[in-house]
Structure 1
Amino acid sequence: MKMIQENWKKLAFLFLILLLLFLLGNWGQQKAEESWNINEAGAVNSPLSDPAENDKVVGETGTEVLTSKSDMKAVESVVVDIKGAVRNPGVYSVPSDSRLHEVIEKAGGFTAEADPIQVNLALKVWDQMLLYVPVKGETTEVVSPPSNTQLPAPEKINVNTASQSELMELTGIGEKKAEAIIEYREQNGGFQTVEDLLMVPGIGEGILSKIREDISL
């Protein structure tokens, strides 16, 4: 009888241990689920997972791509007419910094009859350029860039209408002299001749000779 009671005690003790382990397992699972839910909520609220923020990032990237494309379109191009011994003669639009060999490649390259020795492949192209590639035994003029390109003449400063800052762009005219020029023209109705500037205090023949070619009335 005593042995049976001890066995029951052992079984009861074992049952309590199993029950405790079961309860601890459930408690740990609940904690894990709570922690997971918190992490999920943090991830949802995170700027990285916010759809609006993601859209914003994509939008910014898209803008950069569009900007790059617009920059590519903004690259200046020139038109070149190539004739003679090339496989595909015609008019080609190329970037303004292209060399002649690039245009010839675009035209299909030289034909078998071409005489490439007479062609300067390193020549930089220009707009409206006309190139004739000769065949062997044929002579042609050497192609050279146009020499009639001139920079536009700088615009002259009108001493009767120019602002103080514009007048100060003239050689030898500082803030005080610019103010004196404006004061003189307001009091006298403007300058009738360039020499009238000599009536302005601080302006003599030396300064007038320096600015004479840069001013107008």
Structure 2
Amino acid sequence: MTAPPVAAAESERLAAPDARRRIGVGAILVIVLLAFAAVVVIGMLRGTTGTQIVAASPTPSAAVLAPATAGVYVHVAGAVRAVGLYRLDVGGRVADAIALAGGFADDADRAGVNLARPVTDGEQIVVPVLGAIPDAVAPGAAANGAAGGLIDLNAATADQLDTLPRVGPAMAERIISWREQNGRFTSVDDLLSVPGIGDKMLAAIRDLVRV
């Protein structure tokens, strides 16, 4: 039996809000799912371009450098368990770099490196093997800071620095104090940062020292 026209119209009028409500709920669910998918995709992109804290290699080959971020990068080589390139926080020390490299190898000369020394960006830390003779040390050269006849500004004692032209005991102590406060000399020109050393003194000792 066919419903009266008035009843059918009333039924359609009541059903229309339900249909619109169902469509609205479905649209909201679609929007939520799309937003969630976008968050997942963004997270994946960040994961592929974010910072890699350590880039190491179990072999002596160079490791792949991660994207640059705040910090310092050092190359740890020699008698460690995982030779490679590592990122440390600014102010990190040699001990931190060796720890990231897996620690000392069994044949490492642990006294051959200064674990307390702050590291600088771009430097190489080489842990010597027990009994090995450093390549830079020539026969008859002093083991502490006078390799190849040149005085190592980062290892020389005050007495060794005192042998340089124009450098007396007081200036030698200033050089060592600067080294202790700033970590290490990265170039001979860094001597100009030591109080009392000018261009003339630097020219007089430039060919007698190394870093």
**TM-score (normalised: structure 2):** 0.36
Q: Which has the higher helix share?
A: 1
Q: Which has the larger radius of gyration?
A: 1
